[in-house]
Structures are given as structure tokens and as C-alpha cells.
Amino acid sequence: MSTEPTLSNTATVVKDLGLVDYAATFAAMQAFTEARGPETPDELWLCQHPPVFTQGLAGKPEHVLLNPEGAGHIPVVQSNRGGQITFHGPGQVVAYPLLDLRRRGYFVKEYVYRIEEAIVRTLMHFGVTGHRVGGAPGIYVRLADPFAHGALQTPADPRDPFRGLGKVAALGIKVTRHCTYHGLSLNVGMDLSPFQRINPCGYAGLATVDLASLGVQVGADEVAAVLAQQLVQRLAP
């Protein structure tokens, strides 16, 4: 059966799942990917999760600094995505592209670049300038002036590549049989304090920010709509 891109098999079905359990969503992504065939339409799932720490394949237990039992306890879920530990919670937009990369005609490195570009364009829509940091997937902002348009000084200081920066979006992907799942999270207006219990993405002392803390007051649904539009456009074949 042909897997050449056609109008029917490269369209993206966008689904807003609302607030959903992380582990159940992870299982659903796996099931979707395992069951899909050459003609299965690609999908983009948008959601938020109740508070949860997720550990990637490269995750190390020592990056969980503090997670007390009791009322403040947040579950730690092991996943098969790339990367280290991160936090998901209400007020953060999570996007899971479920794509057939072979059908779309590009490889993983370009896929990651396209996701980051979609995040940068989404932030730009709300007046915020996002930046890439070499070797550290995700999108960062200048803490002193998140609206400045100038490029970051390169090369970054190898002793402190995140000096003056805060992370606003994280990436963690999985590719199996050329098909993607897991994805990205973009912090909109959330409780950021759980990030202090971990080394975010494995980096000690890395500041984590959201749009609200940058002075941008916008609803998660509005951000999700812009992000979905950008992802569909930037991830096109």
C-alpha cells in the first residue's frame, strides 16, 4: 500500500481532551501508535493534566529533590519519552502530535526544530520572544526582558548556558516505526512551585516561568488554539 503523502492521509485531526489523567493519556497514545496503519490519519491531542511529575528515559532519581508524602505529594510517573523529569499541572497547555514522519517526509531532528518553531511563533503571537539553547531542547525567554527581539549572544556561556533565562516550554518525544507520540508543554498560568522540587529537565537551578509570570494574562484555551494552529502549519508535509 502506498504511503506517499496524499490529501487524505496527511491531514491532522485536532482533538481537545480537556483535563485528563497523565498515565491514562500516555497509555492511549501508545495504543493509538501501536494500532495505526499506513492510512491512519495523524492526530494532535491538546490537553492539561492534574499535577504530576513525569520522568523520561534519561531521568535520574536524584533530580527529584523534594516530594513529601501527604497533601503536597505529587505522583512521579515513569514514561518512555526522551529527556529527564518535568512537571505538568493545570494552567499548562500540553500538545501531543501523533504523526507518521515517513509519510510527512522529514526526520526526527527536523521534527524537533518544527515543534520549537511552532512554540516560538505562538509566543510571538502574545508578544513574547522565545529562544533556543543549543543542546537543551525546549524554548527559553530572557527573564529581564522577555519582549526583547534581539538574538541571544552565541555561543552561550558553557559554564552557565541558562544565565538570565527561564524555561517556558519543554519537549519530550518518542518515535517508534517512524511514528511520534508524547510532545511538548507550554506554561501559561500555573502553580510553578512544584518545579522547585526537581531539577527541571535535569538542569539544577534552571528557572521555570509561565506567561502569567512574564506579565501576559491570557487563558490556556486561547493559547492552546494558537499553538494548535501553529503546530498544524509548522508540522505540515
201 within some domain? yes
- Summarised one tens digit per residue, pLDDT across range 130-182 is 999 988 899 999 999 999 888 887 656 677 778 899 999 999 999 999 999 99
> What's the pLDDT score for residue 9?
58
Q: Which long-range contacts (CB under 8 A, 24 or more apart) does 129-132 make?
A: 130/168, 130/169, 131/165
> What's the pLDDT score for residue 69?
61
User: Of 179, 201, 209, 231, which one is the catalytic site residue?
Assistant: 201
Mean pLDDT of the chain: 90
Q: Print burial letters for 103-138: b (CB count within 10 Å at least 16), e (below 16).
A: bbeeeeeebeebbbbbbbbbbeebebbbbbbeebbb
- Summarised one tens digit per residue, pLDDT across range 90-137 is 999 999 999 999 999 999 999 999 999 999 999 999 999 999 998 889
Nearest to 64 by CA among 50, 77, 81: 77
Cβ within 8 Å of residue 23, ≥6 positions away: 52, 77
pLDDT top residue among 215 and 160: 215
Q: Which domain holds residue 32?
A: 12-61+71-148+164-234
7 within some domain? no
156 within some domain? no
Show the cell assigned to 215.
Answer: 506579565
Q: Print burial letters for 12-48: b (CB count within 10 Å at least 16), e (below 16).
A: bebeeeeeeebeebbebbbebbeebeeebebbbbbbb
Residue 5: band (very low, low, confident or very high) from pLDDT cuts 50, 70, 90: very low
3 within some domain? no
Specify whether 179 is catalytic: no
203 within some domain? yes
Residue 2: band (very low, low, confident or very high) from pLDDT cuts 50, 70, 90: very low
- What CATH number does the domain containing 115 carry? 3.30.930.10
109 within some domain? yes
> What's the pLDDT score for residue 11?
85
pLDDT above 90 covers what percent of the chain?
72
66 within some domain? no
Domain count, the chain: 1
The pTM for the full model equals 0.91
Query: Could you give the 3-state DSSP secondary structure of residue 43?
Result: strand
The residues with which 86 forms a beta bridge, in sequence order, are: 54
Is 80 exceeded by the pLDDT of residue 48? Answer: yes
1 within some domain? no
Is 90 exceeded by the pLDDT of residue 191? Answer: yes
